[in-house]
Structure 1
Amino acid sequence: MIFGVWFYYWLSFYPGLLTNDSYNQWAQANGFQLYSEWHPLVHTFLIKFTTFINHSPSVFLFIQIFFGALTVVYILGKLLKNGAPIFLCSIISLLYALYPINGILMVSLWKDIPYSILLLLLFYMISEIVFNTASAEKRTFNIFSFTIVSILTALFRKNGLLVVIISLIILMIYVKKKRFLISIVIFFFSIFSFNFFTSKILHAEKSPTYEALSIPMQQVSATYKMGGKIPPKEQAYFNKILPEKLWRENYNDKTVDFIKYNANFNGDIIENQPKVFLLHWSKLLKYNPKIFIKSFLNQTASIWRFYTPNGYKINIHGGLEITGTRENYYDDEKIAPLDTEKKLISNYETYKARAKRNNIKPMRYKDFKNKVLRAYKPLKNDTKSRFGQKVLSEIYHIVNDKLQKYIVRGALAVLILLVATTISIIKYGVLKSTLIFMVPYLNLFSLIISAPATDFRYIYSLVFSIIPILLTVIYPPIQEENVDKF
């Protein structure tokens, strides 16, 4: 049922919903942009692999909706076995299927979606380890699947790496079993090998350091905007990164994009000496604590805010593609060949400069152009159900414009997490609860300190998991006799 509903979204928005991040990864997968660690390369490679089946993002998205539906059903099946009523599990299945944000995001080419699915799997696998329920005949499969899920979760997002490493270290203290330790060794070896391959063999571009400093940059901008105190030394430093006028004009309480994507933004100053940036930032914090706190709360509003001020919106999706509007060089080249050629030449010069900077031999312009046009050819709006696209687009806009305050709420997921934690502590004690909830809390804290914008997709990793998390505490994995942990 879940797959069937999401499959209809897939047909309606075929070949999928893409935004700027999606286009960037699609370009890397199609070979006309350099591999970059800005987006998880494992995601890029999987997209590239699926193009051998059919040259379209639709293949990857089909696998994504199948994997998502299968994960939810797998865990609901486990909960049924543990005593959850079938009526309750059926209602939850309906919620997963009919919650419109699920349908929209499941057909979006974003790293955040498979990461959210993997995080749910990792949570439940760890809960099974803590409750000691791995059956004797499935031990090898459990270890294998846990290792694979851990590796993928760590590779699909940078904060995912932090979540998994800390979880494994804590779990290693609790589960002192040889085969579990082997699983951890395989995990670290795989992560190291993958990073060595992408960095030393593929020469993938490093993700800019300032990407991890979105909240501090936003706070600096807020200080300019709100007339905070900026000592002359700090002002001289920050004005080298971005002129004072632009720090002030480009402040947006929902996203840092207007700062870091400004043509005058000099990120190399931060990149070369991030500690110096943080030193000057800490000086501003000393003089402007109220502004810093207000800016931080605004930027993380999608995580904690129940009340929505008039005119305030959490960004759910790019929106344009939901109505069928798409960027497409393949179509543009037919309509306006000269203008398209100018854009392609400009893009090629950017690509060539980046290639030389990374000691990579650039391809010829002719090859570059052919790759671009071939990559964009399947990206046109090719819906398999115009009625579905029209109806689902209308539903999305109703949710975005009128129902946000009711059903797009990271704060509700956080509240349920706190309730589930309280129940767990009462039932199982602090130690066991700490182990059970490591993954969702570490993920939540990583979002709080690094969220670059008030986009719902960042908190979606918790929203997607929260009901199974609560039910796992109420209906824990059944303790089996004579079976050791792993």
Structure 2
Amino acid sequence: MKKTYLLGAASFVAALFLAFTAIFYFQPIRNAHPLLIVFITLVLFGLLVYSRSFVHTVNGWTRAKKISLAIFMPLFTVLAGLSLLGDQQYLADNHWLVKTAVYLGLFLTIALVVLSIIKLLLSIQTPAGEQKVSPFYVLLYMLPMLGASLVMFIAFYPAAMTPDSLSQWEQSETKEFTNWHPVMFTWLIMFLRKIWDSPGIIALFQVVALALTMGYMGYLMKRFKVNTWILWVVLIVAAIVPVNSIMSIIIWKDVLYSTSLLFFSLLILLLVKTKGLETKKVSFVLLFLLGSFMLVFFRHNGFPVFVITMIAALIMYRRMWKQLLPMTLGIIIIHQVITGPVYTKLDVVDSDPQEALSIPTQQIANIVTKNGDMTEEQREYINRLMPLELWPEKYNPSSVDPIKFSWGEYDRWVIYDDPAQYAKHWAQLVLQNPGLAVEAFLDETSLVWQMRLEEDGHMNRFVTNIYYGNEFNLLNQVIYPKVTYSAQLYLKVDTEAEEFLWRPAVYLFFITLFLYVAYLRNNWRIWLILLPIALNTAAVMATMPAQDFRYLFNASLFFYAALLISLLNFDDKGGSLRE
């Protein structure tokens, strides 16, 4: 009994330490409300008590799973802590021991939360195998997302459009196509406008496509015996979180692309869960061709995501190569034919190569702005790109657009006339100024890795209107003022907690954690399901031009799939936790 009391007291002291240090990580501790400190302390005390027995659970795991946990926990914890780092000037005048305690406490707090999540998810038992489910459930499970999206459609009728949207709308009229934005999306707009010549038809198409995909996710999870109550809670939360419903009515290629990436990932789940046997079904072949077609054509980085994922799938499930290879080659051939001879026949203008040079441009700009190490030859070359005195003026650490769209000053033909010369100077500057180069890279890609938006940070979340003053005289119409007003209030971001809903990094960290739990429950093949999202994130990170949520909208969608996947039992004897 005495030992129990001592353990409880020690846990409470530990919880108090974690509470103080974790709060101090985000704000001056003297500003924290006493009730907040008490609440956080009690929550952490509860988590300490809850996770105490987890050590005994781990003892029964296989050696490989134990090693994976020893690697995953410190790596995930530290990266998550750094991702939450904000402006901490208030810590500057504290003793180094205080600073060390604050950081250590925050990392330990994250570790405790992560261990508790792992234990909780692993404690939820889903029966192995699968059950026969009527396709009707796709329509049933799509209702939450469909309802939430239709509310946004009514609130901001007929759609929301930015200059990018209007550019493709214009191409659908002039038939003069440019591949700056995927031509396939422009062709879809042309087709839908024949049914109803209004942006509303494109918005409705996106709404239905997203709702059907979420319905298909629900159908698959029911087929794999996920608890019905859990399934409905996840689908309803996905619908009521404002991120997903408002994005569905904005006419961007990213919406359909993100939807197709979720759908493609669900097909990869089906492949892994059935050990490749699903490929023998005609229904899978048809869905695979549809999902893959949308994936490779609705954003440029979709094609490499598809190819690399399918190469990995062919290696892992090489016994099913007769089914997988023809489908893969079919999509590749279709893509090459359309983007080659067909685009040539239609005089499709290639996209601006500058789109792929966002990171190098930002690195050069940061080096010039911070007076980095440069030779006279390098200064002369950079001055040819844009006068040296303009770089500090145009440089925005989180967006390359001010430089890229300085049409009168930024001479991109210097790059196009001699790409090798540009590559040489950029590589030299990076090697001479590695610190400034890394700084520029992290600033430009903060949307991917930073969960906490800094106080002076900026990101583009969403729009609710058609761009004002457009030449097509497209206007929004308020159908029900109360619905529009309520939707505007619902979408408003007033607090830091609400801001987290619009940070893709939050979803990416949780996706990684959920898939790791799925690995612990099953086997290493589970990581194939994460591969499409990981590849897409890497591609976006390599070319990110600005802090636009839409670039990683797919992460907020796959988040819900990853949570449900973490509950699945793949019934693979070789991948169980127990020895």
Match of 1:162 in 2: 304
Cα distance in 2, alignment partners of residues 167 and 288 from structure 1: 35
TM-score under structure 1 normalisation?
Answer: 0.83
User: Within the alignment, does 1:105 sit opposite 2:247 as a pair?
Assistant: yes
Cα distance in 2, alignment partners of residues 328 and 210 from structure 1: 26
Match of 1:399 in 2: 493
Cα distance in 2, alignment partners of residues 137 and 438 from structure 1: 19
Corresponding residue to 2:478 among 366, 374, 383: 383
Q: Is the 8 A contact 2:504 2:549 kept in 1?
A: yes
Per-residue CA deviation, residues 389-437 of structure 1 (Å, 9 max, x unaligned), is 22222332x226765433222222121122123223333333x133222
- C-alpha change, 1:400 and 1:316, in structure 2 (3 Å) is farther
SS at match of 1:193: helix
Corresponding residue to 2:403 among 235, 248, 259: 259
1:137 Cα shift? 11
Cα distance in 1, alignment partners of residues 201 and 399 from structure 2: 31
Kindly tell me the number of residue pairs found equivalent between the two proteins. 426
Per-residue CA deviation, residues 223-277 of structure 1 (Å, 9 max, x unaligned), is 1222222221111112111111222210011210000100211112222333321
Cα distance in 2, alignment partners of residues 325 and 182 from structure 1: 44
State the Cα RMSD in Å.
2.1
Match of 2:325 in 1: 181
The aligned amino acid for 2:418 is: Q
Q: Is the 8 A contact 1:131 1:477 kept in 2?
A: yes
Match of 1:13 in 2: 156
Match of 1:360 in 2: none
The aligned amino acid for 1:13 is: F
- C-alpha change, 1:266 and 1:137, in structure 2 (3 Å) is closer
1:477 Cα shift? 6.3
The aligned amino acid for 2:509 is: L
User: Within the alignment, does 1:300 sit opposite 2:445 as a pair?
Assistant: yes
The aligned amino acid for 1:97 is: A
User: Within the alignment, does 1:30 sit opposite 2:173 as a pair?
Assistant: yes
Match of 2:391 in 1: 247
Match of 1:310 in 2: 455
Map of 1:343-362 to 2, 5 A cutoff?
A: none
Cα distance in 2, alignment partners of residues 293 and 53 from structure 1: 50
User: Within the alignment, does 1:58 sit opposite 2:200 as a pair?
Assistant: yes
Map of 1:26-175 to 2, 5 A cutoff?
A: 26-31=169-174, 34-132=176-274, 139-175=281-317
SS at match of 2:197: coil
SS at match of 1:16: coil
Cα distance in 1, alignment partners of residues 312 and 394 from structure 2: 42
Cα distance in 1, alignment partners of residues 266 and 429 from structure 2: 42
The aligned amino acid for 1:43 is: F
1:70 Cα shift? 1.1
- C-alpha change, 1:413 and 1:380, in structure 2 (3 Å) is same
Cα distance in 2, alignment partners of residues 404 and 227 from structure 1: 38
- C-alpha change, 1:384 and 1:403, in structure 2 (3 Å) is farther
Match of 1:268 in 2: 413
SS at match of 1:83: coil
Match of 1:350 in 2: none
Match of 1:462 in 2: 555
Q: Is the 8 A contact 2:367 2:433 kept in 1?
A: yes
The aligned amino acid for 1:460 is: F
Q: Is the 8 A contact 1:133 1:478 kept in 2?
A: no
- C-alpha change, 1:443 and 1:136, in structure 2 (3 Å) is closer
Map of 1:199-238 to 2, 5 A cutoff?
A: 199-238=343-382
Q: Is the 8 A contact 2:460 2:548 kept in 1?
A: yes
Cα distance in 2, alignment partners of residues 434 and 82 from structure 1: 18
Per-residue CA deviation, residues 129-172 of structure 1 (Å, 9 max, x unaligned), is 12226777971121121122112201111111110011111212
Q: Percent identity?
A: 24
Cα distance in 2, alignment partners of residues 447 and 470 from structure 1: 23
Per-residue CA deviation, residues 80-106 of structure 1 (Å, 9 max, x unaligned), is 221222221121122221111212211
Q: Is the 8 A contact 2:399 2:444 kept in 1?
A: yes
Q: Is the 8 A contact 2:276 2:317 kept in 1?
A: no
Cα distance in 2, alignment partners of residues 51 and 164 from structure 1: 29
Match of 2:72 in 1: none
Cα distance in 1, alignment partners of residues 159 and 417 from structure 2: 38
TM-score under structure 2 normalisation?
Answer: 0.70
Per-residue CA deviation, residues 339-368 of structure 1 (Å, 9 max, x unaligned), is xxxxxxxxxxxxxxxxxxxxxxxxxxxxxx
- C-alpha change, 1:16 and 1:476, in structure 2 (3 Å) is farther
Match of 1:472 in 2: 565
SS at match of 2:340: helix
Q: Is the 8 A contact 1:97 1:103 kept in 2?
A: yes
- C-alpha change, 1:120 and 1:137, in structure 2 (3 Å) is closer
- C-alpha change, 1:120 and 1:135, in structure 2 (3 Å) is same
Per-residue CA deviation, residues 183-217 of structure 1 (Å, 9 max, x unaligned), is 11211111011112443111111111111111110
User: Within the alignment, does 1:451 sit opposite 2:544 as a pair?
Assistant: yes
Greater relative contact order (CA < 8 Å, ≥ 6 in sequence): 1
- C-alpha change, 1:401 and 1:253, in structure 2 (3 Å) is farther
SS at match of 2:379: helix
Structure 1 gaps of 5+ residues are 330-375, 480-486
